[in-house]
A and B are shown apart, each in its own frame.
Chain A
Amino acid sequence: MNIAVNAQQQAARDEAYALPLEKIDPANADRFQNDTIWPYFERLRREDPIHYTPDSAYGPYWSVTKWNDIMAVDTNHAVFSSSDGIVLATLESIIENEKIRGPRDKNAGGFISMDPPDHGPKRKTVTPAVAPDNLLRMAPQVRERAGLILDQLPIGQEFDWVDKVSKELTAMTLSTLFDFPFEDRRKLTYWSDMFTNQPGHGPAKSWAHKKEAADECFSAFNDLWNQRVNSDSGFDMISMMAHSPATRDMQAREYQGHVVLLIIGGNDTTRNTISGSVYALNKYPEQYAKLRANPGLITSMVSETIRWQTPLAHMRRLALQDFEIGGKTIKKGEKVAMWYVSGNRDEDIIENPNAYIIDRERPRQHLSFGFGIHRCVGNRVAELQLQIIWEEIMKRFPEIQVVREPTRTHSSFVKGYESLPVIIPKRN
């Protein structure tokens, strides 16, 4: 870490402990981009684990920051509803999105934004695509693609790992899950970035620009639907939705919601964890050495990276009734953010939580997939891609060196990397 980064971290720590509690707005996206969120969450876990921010760009909202409280909210879907949306959205983006897509309706956010009884049957429509037997079928193809991607990387020359590897592999896998035209796969990445970024960040220039991308995406997926609905049911998620009784008669708006969910869920999360694994192993070189000495640790390294990275920093709920937790009363109608990124650093549950330790005793103990009925549907396909890319990396390269600090995503939801400059000094 260089001196400038150290000074920025110290300034953030000073500010985090100097601010009056009610002024702490943990969803401030600037701090995610600067990687200065940590002391704010540390203070909240210690002093105000169920925290209320009365005034912010997101309006008023609650923050749940400790493991057990997050678990209590996540598993109580009767009180904490997903149907109002699962992301803390800025008030500006709520208004602008309504201009683009019309007033929000309860089916517009995909099955992740539904409560029982709507949620289960729709979620189950797409689960066969990511079930173990289908993953077994996909694995050789993922391995072949990972090998091709890695074999084309330059040696001894700086390049962007995010662009050349993380985005490539995840776009290929997602195109297979949708049976989306392979040559257009990077459109999936682009649309995902256009959905998640606010104007002025990532590729999004303006709200009109975001609308243009959304229209293009929905039109392409509309064509896919029309193509699949008239053919035999294939083993891709679009066919599954077009043929399942739970989803085949849904309105365009709902289909679009599922599409956005599956594009973002199948894309950003794994992409940013792949990038995060390279970054973390460089930040903790003794862990990289451990992995080189024992490639059998890849599986636990993957889980530890998913915890350490926490590629989705939070999920949001809406209280359907008053609820007491941690001595506070969350009122009916209030928004609640469950900060997985903070729960994954909870000292009471995870030993030495700030450290990246690839051979932890229980590496699967993390909140990154969420718990309860909305637990990540694609968790095993994410782990599969990470496992395979690292098995193939270890066969080829003794080391991937991070050259400079990465550029991070400006978001309190997608916790990831815009770019990660690396050099591969040599092949094995």
Chain B
Amino acid sequence: MPKIKYIEHSGKEHVVDVPEGWSVMEGAVKNMVPGIDADCGGACACATCHVIVDDAFIGKIPGKSDMEETMLDFAPEVTPNSRLSCQIKVTPELEGLIVRMPASQH
């Protein structure tokens, strides 16, 4: 199971084993990692699972859909590495993935 490191805005780190096929959002929510709200439950419809993907991994994740791009427009503090974590599927290539949480989800 790939290990994913979630870093809260405060800097607090959580390392979690996330099964392949889950989304990065599910890996946080189902393991009680705070900082990801996921109000819509993973439908790419609310932008409350915003994370900033570490530079080293951004190239290993398939690109954003139009819907994700549009929904990310809603989120504050968006950076070029911003993604909706419900849209990132966990694969073996993402072993060691690091994602950072914004100050708040909107």
Residue A423 interfacial (CB < 8 Å): no
What are some 17 contacts across the A-B interface (CB < 8 A)? Answer: A71-B40, A75-B43, A75-B44, A75-B45, A75-B67, A116-B70, A127-B74, A131-B106, A132-B76, A132-B106, A133-B76, A364-B39, A371-B46, A372-B71, A375-B46, A375-B47, A375-B74
CA distance A75 to B67 in the complex (A): 9
Partner of B70, one of A120, A132, A371: A120
Chain B residue nearest to A349 (CB atoms) is B41
Contacts of B104 in A (CB 8 A): 132
Residue A124 interfacial (CB < 8 Å): yes
Contacts of A132 in B (CB 8 A): 76, 103-104, 106
Residue A373 interfacial (CB < 8 Å): yes
Contacts of A74 in B (CB 8 A): 45
CA distance A222 to B45 in the complex (A): 35
Residue B73 interfacial (CB < 8 Å): yes
Residue A365 interfacial (CB < 8 Å): yes
CA distance A71 to B43 in the complex (A): 8
Residue A380 interfacial (CB < 8 Å): yes
A-B pairs under 8 A by CB, number: 40
Contacts of B41 in A (CB 8 A): 365
Residue B20 interfacial (CB < 8 Å): no
CB of A64 to closest CB in B, whole Å: 15
Contacts of B95 in A (CB 8 A): none
Chain A, residues 89-128, CB within 8 Å of chain B (1/0): the string is 0000000000000000000000000001000100010010
5 tightest A-B CB contacts, nearest first: A371-B45, A132-B104, A75-B45, A364-B39, A131-B76
CB of B2 to closest CB in A, whole Å: 26
Contacts of B74 in A (CB 8 A): 127, 375
CA distance A357 to B85 in the complex (A): 29
CA distance A73 to B80 in the complex (A): 29
CA distance A428 to B106 in the complex (A): 35
CB of A139 to closest CB in B, whole Å: 13
| Chain B, 14-54, CB within 8 A of any chain A CB | 37, 39-41, 43-47
| Chain A, 325-376, CB within 8 A of any chain B CB | 364-365, 369, 371-373, 375
Contacts of A379 in B (CB 8 A): 106
CB of B85 to closest CB in A, whole Å: 16
CA distance A364 to B45 in the complex (A): 14
Q: Are B76 and A371 in contact (CB under 8 A)?
A: no
A131-B106, A132-B103, A380-B106 in contact; A371/B73 too (CB < 8 A)? no
Contacts of B43 in A (CB 8 A): 71, 75, 371
New A-B contacts (18) at CB < 8 Å, excluding given A71-B45, A371-B45? A75-B43, A75-B45, A75-B67, A120-B70, A120-B73, A124-B73, A127-B74, A132-B103, A364-B37, A364-B39, A365-B39, A371-B40, A372-B45, A373-B71, A375-B45, A375-B46, A375-B47, A375-B74
